[in-house]
Structure 1
Amino acid sequence: MNSLGINYGEKLIFSTGNIMSINDIIKKPSQSSTQELIEAINFTLKENFKNGDSGEQHLKVISRVDDTRQKIQENGVDALKIGLKVFLTNDNEENLKDALNTALSQQLDVSNVSDVIVSFKKQTTDDLDAIKKIWRHLESYVEKKVVGEIGIADVEESTFRSLYNWAKVKPNIIQINLATCCVVPPTLQAFCKENDLKLFTHSDSSDILPSQSITDIFEKPLDLQWAVRYTIHIKCRGVLITKGYCLCFSLK
């Protein structure tokens, strides 16, 4: 047990719950997604520490009581746009499956979501074979009607075109980080317009939670396997009502 009062198992699942209910985060709307996530984790750890440790030998789950499921029930799934962004650290399709199942079943308790966007760490960003490996698995969720639309973040235009031409289930969404690409290429804009694709910009780091930040937070070197951010909007008004993160760590 470390000074945070946590008995670490071989696997750690972490859920921040609805971070829009955390005042310290709401007051800092301009902070980066990494800073936001670090604050949410620290807040959740403090709450978990108060509640005591209930870990099992090979699996530890850390979460906090929040209103995510209540808000979904109050508004009804059909009236909501539920989106997931999955941050992957490698091309292991089991990690994608684990991330989506954790978000859908354990956190949100829903049978389907509107869209899923995948983001890879830099070393995998333009590895088309690695992307295809994950994409094949992602396609199955669309075919089973668990996911409505699928997309990808931060790949070169040539990689995106190759993925689009190869894919059985075409990507509907591409996200471009303006921190690394200050102007969206006109050729990419034209390609998206011709194929009726959604082109969005964002400011997320592909390394959503750096190794040093993990060690600083947990007082122990852990490997981040995946992270999922979920956002829930009311369709008719476009109002964001819930936002949160689920993460999976393993011992180094």
Structure 2
Amino acid sequence: MENRFGPAARLYCLWAALAIGVSIAQAGLAVESVTRLLVVGFLLLQFVMRPMLVRALPSCAPKWRFVLIGMLLAALVEGFHMISMPVFGALRIGGETGIAGALRNYALDLAFTLPGYLAIFSTIWFFVNRYRYALWDYIVTAGFAQAIGDGGLFFFWNAPGMLLFLPYPMSNYHAINVLPFLAVREHLPADAPRRASRYLIVPAVIVTYLACGATIRLVGRYFGFEAG
């Protein structure tokens, strides 16, 4: 894929718009649809404000700029999911949840998820710092890896027809992993190889998600939380 907004990029954006639009049209304004609209709106806001946002954390080394920006964005997107699918069902924020309870639940969600995002973005950094990715190559590959790793592997295995809607969950990860890449892109090794082995990022990210998910469930069970 080219860095410019070429035919492949336009085709993917059309696919994403159709997948998200059809899903929301079928579901109506359910909490999951509201979450998706917030995620898409957040992604569009990043696009508009990217000249300013890519300059965030200028004093940090490239690795930590990448990881920390990713974690900050992930924390915000986790907030959007608090009304639909937090890390544990007991932390879901509804109309009856007061402000103090909502803040408590959000803080607990981040306490469980942010260490996982530290591991995930460190894994992604390992690859982007060693291989050369064109922009849209990275956008689709990293988004796919995270979507499949974060529960998609089992979901799509049981419902392969739903792969037609793959950009729907991928939008979550575009909203957290594109801006970090843009922020450090000029600081990545110029002579990095563009080998097929760069796609090992996919199984590596999936394995990282599986390990983090298992750890979160184990620790959560210790504190009385059940997944769901």
Provide TM-score, normalisation by structure 2: 0.29
Structure having the higher strand fraction is 1
What TM-score does the superposition give when structure 1 sets the normalisation length?
0.27
Flag the structure with higher helix content: 2
